[in-house]
Amino acid sequence: MLNRKRNILLSGLLALCLSAAAQQPERKVIVDNGRFFYFTVDEETQLAHMHSADTKRRFAEADDLLIPAGRSTEDPQNPLCFSLRGDQLITINWILNSNNSRYDAIRKIDLRNWRKSRPDWDIAAWAEASFVQPVIAPNEPWEQLLRDNNVLTGTYFDLNAPDSNHLIMTVCNNRQLRVCRWDGLKWSVAAPIPCPFDTCFSVIYNNGSVALVDAYGSAYRYDAKRNQLKKLRKSTATTVVLVEDHDSGKTYLIPAQSLNSTNPRSFESVMQESAQEITF
């Protein structure tokens, strides 16, 4: 019965996906080659939309491209995990469906293959396409999390791709956190350490350094030699969105409420007014 309900959900009308454009960005905004990119997830279909525009444009002017990837809408919600390297999208496809293997969820999507619309596809077809995208690495960090404790409480994870072949993934469950690295052939998984926050978080990679930022902007640099976190900055009063600027090589925080389709200012103007740089 449960699988039947999930299949009904995925077989809904494609028009439902259009509601994603009004949602807040998932986790972060990426700036690359003078354009900003962000993702939203449709809560009905679990599918992701990629939005992009020149940084001199407003959020409302961003393109809307449906992507064969997504995330579960179960609570607690873990935002979509993704990195963008040129035309390569590295993501954790966490759509809740019996055909979507958690072990094979870390996938690489060539965006050049998905820039044309497919009006004849329904939601089920898009979901099925997400299950067959190339796997970049086995999801050993998730398997390790389950071996540590298969009672899922406060379970969050994220990844960052320094390039299209290497990954940094961090998983947290029951306030225990592991930092994992993929070198293109195998995973190295650090011993668990206490997690100092109880919200979703994002992984930052900058010039060889790794940091974690929680939903309220608290930032922690990861010391790989000592396998510990050092606090870089305190939290803010409101939720934040990361801005990963590939053009400048810098990372910023920006209030989540300033990034929405009703803001009349350009993305560039919002950054100038509200962005705070995270320094390592």
pLDDT, position 6: 39
Tally of domains within the chain: 1
**130 or 263, which is more confident?**
130
3-state secondary structure of 112: helix
pLDDT, position 3: 45
Domain membership of residue 13 as a residue range:
2-277
Check if the beta carbon of residue 46 is closer than 8 Å to that of residue 20.
no
Check if the beta carbon of residue 68 is closer than 8 Å to that of residue 130.
yes
pTM: 0.89
How many other CB atoms are found less than 10 A from the CB of residue 5? 8
Check if the beta carbon of residue 170 is closer than 8 Å to that of residue 214.
no
pLDDT, position 13: 31
Q: What percent of the chain has pLDDT over 70?
A: 92
- Using the predicted structure, report yes or no on whether residue 2 has a pLDDT greater than 70: no
| Residue 36: band (very low, low, confident or very high) from pLDDT cuts 50, 70, 90 | very high
Mean pLDDT computed over every residue of the chain: 90
- Using the predicted structure, report yes or no on whether residue 208 has a pLDDT greater than 60: yes
| Residue 165: band (very low, low, confident or very high) from pLDDT cuts 50, 70, 90 | confident
Residue 143 to residue 160: CA distance in whole angstroms: 18
- Using the predicted structure, report yes or no on whether residue 263 has a pLDDT greater than 90: no
Q: Identify the CATH number of the domain in which residue 91 sits.
A: 2.120.10
pLDDT, position 210: 96
Half-sphere exposure of 136 (CA within 13 A, CB side): 27
**Model confidence over 48-92: pLDDT tens digits?**
999 999 999 998 899 999 999 999 988 778 999 999 999 999 999
CA 79-68-155 angle, 5° bins: 25
Task: From residue 214, give the alpha-carbon distance in Å to each of 86, 100, 208.
Answer: 26, 27, 20
pLDDT, position 109: 97
Tell me the H-state helices in 71-197.
123-130, 140-148
**117 or 244, which is more confident?**
244
